Copies of this chain bind each other. A is one copy, B any other.
């Protein structure tokens, strides 16, 4: 528990000089610097973070706010952030702000107001107006991951492009009956899912399949996708030949459901997701890979830049998802396609 005064005394210099030597700011002769460093090492000196913060106004800590930590995407982003901060010697304070909880209100009203951080990373937050206002009030740099239009810098994957690409892949395989699954089961859609739905719709329209546009709501989890797919696939008459999951979790749930129902993937049903989830490989899932760790990492870089120079303009980092073809997608079965045409004809 020795302080800088002890180090200074041991090195035979003043506190001021010791501080300069230790922080590397200001003039210190090589000789004294060495003495001070040695003394610090001998004493096992560790600066008091609160004293440093109080004196400098910097906390060397970054706040991370996210609504979940137990979903793959969020956990990955968190690990990416953590790893990058670690390299920079910065701490990370986590705020778990689940929508609609008192805890969340408390985080926005009390915790964030304490400003125990130099900057904030908001992951998939989708703040309400009141919350957004709070965020702004804090007056610290903010970077969002999967940001909506918060007027802050953000990094995210190009959702429109990703799902468009996914849909095109299915279209290229001859599919027409392609349904989009996701969006949650609550009253309103999550922004990400909304954007992805639009990507699907525009790809369908471009392909001249606007008449086939169909979406089916599901929680964006594996059990959610499973439950939705059981509903969606049970009736052979309305069963699509292909399915786009709002994310891999939904897609995986759908694959599990299909198998349970005796529907072969990909011969009876093609499935594509977005994420490249850790289980994607095991389920041979064709997907659009986004790299959440890199997004986390990029968010840190962006934020640190903003902290270093607050006048830096708001920046957007848009990453492109990459198509990974595994074996959950296949050319549409001619018979199925014919059947679909028939039923379409019947309807008409």
Contacts and interface: CB of A to CB of B under 8 A. Distances in A.
Interface residues of A, number: 49
A48 B70 CA distance: 32
A38 interface: no
Nearest to A52: B50
Interface stretch (A17-25, A90-98, A209-217): A90-98
A231 interface: no
A106 interface: yes
Contacts of A185: none
Given A86-B107, A92-B93, A278-B223, A70 B59 contact: no
A89 interface: yes
B96 A82 contact: yes
Interface in A51-73: 51, 53-54, 59, 61, 69-70, 72
A46 B70 CA distance: 31
A70 B61 contact: no
B46 A114 contact: yes
Interface of A: 46-51, 53-54, 59, 61, 69-70, 72, 75-76, 78-79, 82-83, 86-87, 89, 91-94, 96, 103, 106-107, 110-111, 113-116, 221-223, 226-227, 253, 256, 259-260, 278-279, 281-282
